[in-house]
Amino acid sequence: MTDQAFKTPQRQSVIGIIPILFKVVYNLVRGFWAIFLLIFVSASDQIKIYGIIAIPILVGLALIYSYLYYRNFRFHIDYENQKFVLEKGVFTSNSIRIPFDRIQQVDLKRSILQRLIGVYGFTVDTAGSKGDEIHIHALLEKDARAISDILTKVKTTYTSEIPVEKDYPSAEESTEQESWHYHTSLFTLLKVGLTRSYLRGFLLITIFLSSIYNQLQQGFESQLEEAFEYSETFVENISGSLIFIPVFIVFAVILSILVTVGEVIIKHFNLNIRQTADYLQIEMGLKTNTKVSFQAHRLQVLKITTNPIQKRLNLYEAQFSLASSDNKVGKSKIITPGLAPKTIEQIKYFLYPRQTPSNSRNTKPHRIWMNRRFIIIGLALLAFYVFSYFSFNLENILSLLFVSSLALLVLVPYQYFLYKTIELTIDDDFLIIKQGLWTQQTEVLELFKMEGVSLRQPFWYRRRGLYNLTFHTAGGDLKMRALPKEFLKEINFLLYKVESSQSVWM
C-alpha cells in the first residue's frame, strides 16, 4: 500500500447497498411506525389493504434510492491539493473536499449488520463541522485500514510536495509494532456494570417509557385511558399492603441494574487498547464496533474515575476528551472502563512521557461552598415539612418527619466529606482537579492546551472575594467553585504558560 493509493475516484464495496438500504428503511419505520400501527389496528379493511400495498412499494422505492446513492457515491485522495474528496447525491450533487489539516479524527465503525456482511464503516471528523463530514458505509477491511493509516499520517507529515511512494504498514505489521495491549473481558465488564451507579439506568428506563407513551398517545388515546383506569384500580387495591412499596423499590433497583449492566456490555464489549509508537488505538462495542486512533498531542483532558468498590477490585475508568469543535465535544469523549492500575500508568506514560509534577500548589474551595449546600438542604426539608403539614394527617406527618430526619443525618455528613475531597493542583506543566466521595475522579490538563479562563462572581460571593472559575479547552471545560481571590495570581501564570509554550496540539 503506497501513498498514491486511492488517487482515482472509486466507489465503496457493492455490498454497501445493503447498509444504505437498511438505513433508509429504518428511517421510514422510525418516522411512520405509529401511523402504520394505527392503520392496522383502528382503520377499515379497505384502508388496511392500501397499507399492505404501500409497504412493498415503499421498500422498492427505498431499494432504487439506495442503488442510485451507491452509484453516485465516489471518493478519492487528492495528493496534489492535499485534500480528501467525496462526491455524493441522488437528486442533488454534493462535493465535499476536506484539507488534510482540518482532519481531526478518523474512525472505523461496524454495526452488527456491517459485521455480518463483512465490511467496515468509515468516518472522518473535521474541525468546525456539526457532525461526521465524511461517512462511508461499506469498505473492505484492508481498504478501510489503509485509508485510515494514510489520512492519519498525512495530517501531520504531509508537505507541499507529493511524497515519494513508500509502503504503509498492514494490519498485521501494525500489531507487531504495538508497545502494549490491554483487553477487557466480559467478566470484567460485568463487574463494572454491577459496581456502577444505577441512577443512569433508572433514567434510561424513564426516558424510554416516556418516549413510547408519547408515540402511542397520538394514535391510541382512548385505549391508554382505559389502561390507566385499570392500573389505578389495581394500585389502589394493593397499595394498602405494606409490602407494595418495598417490592416496587426492589423491582426498580433490579431493572436499573440490568439496564446499567446491559449498557456497559453493549457499549464496551471486547474493549481493546493498543499503544504503538505514535498512537493509542481503542476498539470496542457490540451494537456498533468503533475503532479510534489518536496521538498524544490531540488529547485535551484525561479523567480517571473509580469508586471504593471498584478500587477494591482494581477497576478504573479512563475518559479521553479529544480536541473537537464546540458542536461535537460530547462525541469526542472516549470512555474505557474496567482498566487495571498498571494500564492506567501505561496510558499516563504514553500521554505525558517526559513531564513529572514539580512546584505543586494546592487550592481548595472556600467553606462557603459547603455551607451553601447545608442551607439548600435545610430549605428543601423545611419546604417539605410545610407541604406535609397541609397535605397529610398527623400519623403520616410523623412518619415523614422520621424519614426526612434520617435523610438529614445522611446528607449533611455526605456534603462535609465531599467538600474535603475537592482539591485543585497547579504545577509547572499540569492543572489537576480531584473530587468525589463515592465516585472519585481525577482530571488532568496540560497547561499549554488551555484555551482560556472565565471568572464569574455571584453576588453572594462578592463580600468574601470568591470566584467560580471555568478552564476552557477544545475537549470541554473544567470548573471549580468558590476559589479565593488570592488564587487569581495563578491565572497570570496559566496564561503565561499557554503563551510561552512552543508545544502544539492541533
Q: Which pLDDT belongs to residue 233? A: 55
pLDDT over 90 percentage in the chain: 20
pLDDT of residue 176 exceeding 50: no
- At residue 5, the pLDDT reads 76
pLDDT value, residue 348: 92
Q: What pLDDT, on a 0 to 100 scale, did the predictor assign at position 278?
A: 81
- Kindly list the distances between the CA atom of residue 317 and the CA atoms of 146, 335, 425, 476, in Å, as whole numbers in the listed order: 30, 7, 21, 18
pLDDT exceeds cutoff 60 at 92: yes
- Taking only the tens place, the pLDDT of each residue in 468-480 is 999 998 888 999 9
Q: Residue 100: pLDDT above 50?
A: yes
Greater confidence (245 vs 411) lies with 411
pTM assigned to the model: 0.75
| pLDDT-derived band at 174, boundaries 50, 70, 90 | very low
Mean pLDDT to the nearest integer, 143-156: 77
- Which residues have a Cβ under 8 Å from the Cβ of 334 and sit 6 or more positions away? 282, 292, 319, 320, 322
Q: Please determine, for residue 198, whether its predicted confidence score (pLDDT) is greater than 70.
A: no
Report CA-CA distances (Å) from 388 to 34, 263, 383, 385, 398.
42, 38, 9, 5, 10
From first CA to last CA, the distance across the chain in angstroms is: 27
In this prediction, residue 443 carries a pLDDT of 95
Average pLDDT of 211-223? 55
> According to the model, what pLDDT value does residue 212 have?
58
Listed in sequence order, the residues at least 6 apart from 171 whose beta carbon sits closer than 8 Å to its beta carbon are: 141, 142, 145
Using the predicted structure, report yes or no on whether residue 240 has a pLDDT greater than 60: no
Between 249 and 74, name the one with better pLDDT: 74
Cα separation, 134 vs 127, in Å, equals 12
Side-by-side strand order, sheet with 180-183: 134-139, 120-126, 103-111, 288-294, 280-284, 272-275, 180-183
110 pLDDT above the threshold of 60: yes
Percent of the chain exceeding pLDDT 70 equals 75
Q: What is the pLDDT of residue 346?
A: 93
Of the listed ranges 92-96, 387-391, 478-482, the one predicted with least confidence: 387-391
Checking if the pLDDT of 381 tops 90, the result is no
- What CA–CA distance (Å, rounded) separates 401 from 409? 12
Measured over the CA atoms of residue 416, residue 318, residue 349 and residue 298, the dihedral's sign is negative
Q: Is the pLDDT of residue 378 over 90?
A: no
What per-residue confidence (pLDDT) applies to 32? Answer: 72
pLDDT at 112 over 70: yes
- Close Cβ partners of 359 (under 8 Å, ≥ 6 residues apart): 427, 428
Q: Which of 175-179, 313-317, 451-455 has the lowest mean pLDDT?
A: 175-179
- On whether the CB atoms of residues 429 and 444 are closer than 8 A, the answer is no
